[in-house]
């Protein structure tokens, strides 16, 4: 099987899928059945390490991942190490205020829907600053 040399992970056994294997059956997160996905997400939460390299992530799958993660003290989903390298987000990639406690890589990830976390209610866009900090003064 000819595979792209740039992929340095073991790929999903489903034809044409470049997702990283996350289960002993050789399938990526996107191709696991509900029960397999459930046990895999439990393991991810326990090990604090999500490997979704090259995986096609629908908004439904992302929601399942977020729901399975441990919570940060403020109640947001909490990622440990998170590898989304070359992943494709096929729906809206809404991380719902997620906290990334470890290394997170989105290198070469593709966002086909809306991307980003929640912008916690600030309507001023890039000029928002965290509460208690003064806005940067302009030269």
- The footprint of Zn ion (CB under 5 A) covers 12, 14, 17, 19, 28, 30-31
Minimum Å distance from CB 31 to Zn ion? Answer: 4
Minimum Å distance from CB 43 to Zn ion? Answer: 17
Residue 14 vs 67, nearer CB to Zn ion: 14
Residue 30 vs 93, nearer CB to Zn ion: 30
Strands 49-51 and 99-100: unpaired
Give the Cα separation of 105 and 49 in Å (integer): 12
Give the Cα separation of 49 and 99 in Å (integer): 13
Minimum Å distance from CB 23 to Zn ion? Answer: 10
Which residue's CB atom is positioned nearest to Zn ion? 12
Query: Cα 22 from chain centroid?
Result: 14
Give the Cα separation of 139 and 127 in Å (integer): 15
Residue 78 vs 85, nearer CB to Zn ion: 85
Minimum Å distance from CB 36 to Zn ion? Answer: 12
Residue 31 vs 85, nearer CB to Zn ion: 31
Minimum Å distance from CB 136 to Zn ion? Answer: 44
Residue 37 vs 94, nearer CB to Zn ion: 37
With tokens 């997620």, the residue in question is: 98
Q: Which of 25, 20, 72, 68 is nearest to 47 (CA)?
A: 68
Helix (H) or strand (E) holding 83: strand 81-83
């Amino acid at each position: 099987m000819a595979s792209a040399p740039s992929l340095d992970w073991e790929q999903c056994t489903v034809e044409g899928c470049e997702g990283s294997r996350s289960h002993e059956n050789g399938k990526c997160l996107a191709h696991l059945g509900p029960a397999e996905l459930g046990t895999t997400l439990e393991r991810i939460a326990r090990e604090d390490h999500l490997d979704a390299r090259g995986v096609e992530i629908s908004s439904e799958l992302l929601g399942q991942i977020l729901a399975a993660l441990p919570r940060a003290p403020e109640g947001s989903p909490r990622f440990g190490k998170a590898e989304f390298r070359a992943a494709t987000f096929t729906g809206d990639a809404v991380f719902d205020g997620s906290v990334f406690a470890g290394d997170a890589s989105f290198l070469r990830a593709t966002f086909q829907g809306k991307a980003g976390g929640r912008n916690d209610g600030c309507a001023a866009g890039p000029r928002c600053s965290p509460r208690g900090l003064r806005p940067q003064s302009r030269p």
